[in-house]
Chains A and B, each alone.
Chain A
């Protein structure tokens, strides 16, 4: 059974710092992995989708990497800003399961001015 784990559960950094959020999954047979942002009491905003055949994907200050064989993905945020404060979720999509996403528990990020 696929399990997705995110470390750390919470992270507090000063503004301007570069940071890395980690996601690990137990079954490497994934189709792709999607990173989301969730603001308190709000919905999920898709940040990046990285296919199993890709090593990394970039959008602005965000860079996601994927090492499928070791069951790991990282989300790198450059030059963090207070507006980046949110919970970051990773989710894996398996083959032939109707598009189902399996989520980690998230990393709650706080960027202090």
Chain B
């Protein structure tokens, strides 16, 4: 069964460093998303991406964040200068269209120290 895969599963980084979280969405999907979940809190939407453009983003997704689809298979989330409060589980998701079922990856646990 096709699945969304994320790497790495866990990343530890020092405050102020740049991190890139990687995702391989399901191959025929056209819409891609990033969400995050701070420990003990709700899953929060960060950004949606379609046709090489951001289609929707949340207030959390400020200038420190960027997304890219560098080739036909990968979808990345970059955090330019990490803060302690960026520590969270980051989930990538993909869907065929915006209004149908979204499938999530297993997540990358980001720890900023």
- A→B interface (CB under 8 Å): 31-32, 34, 36, 41-46, 49, 89, 91, 93, 97-106
Contacts and interface: CB of A to CB of B under 8 A. Distances in A.
B85 interface: no
Contacts of A103: 42-44
Interface stretch (B14-22, B62-70, B73-81, B99-107): B99-107
Contacts of B105: 43
Interface residues on B, range: 20 to 34
Given A31-B99, A43-B91, A49-B100, A102 B107 contact: no
Contacts of B56: 97-100
The dominant DSSP class at the A interface is strand
A91 B107 contact: no
Given A49-B100, A103-B44, 6 more contacts: A36-B104, A43-B106, A44-B104, A99-B98, A100-B58, A103-B43
A77 B33 CA distance: 29
Nearest to A98: B56
6 A-B pairs with the lowest CB-CB distances in the bound complex, closest first: A98-B56, A99-B98, A98-B48, A98-B55, A43-B106, A44-B104
A98 B41 CA distance: 23
Given A46-B101, A99-B33, A100-B56, A89 B43 contact: yes
B101 A49 contact: yes
A93 B45 CA distance: 11
Contacts of B31: 98-99
Contact of A93 (B91, B99, B104): B99
A109 B100 CA distance: 26
Contacts of B55: 98-99
A43 B104 contact: yes
A31 B97 CA distance: 13
A52 to B, nearest CB: 10
Nearest to A89: B43
B66 to A, nearest CB: 17
A27 to B, nearest CB: 15
B98 A101 contact: no
A97 B11 CA distance: 30
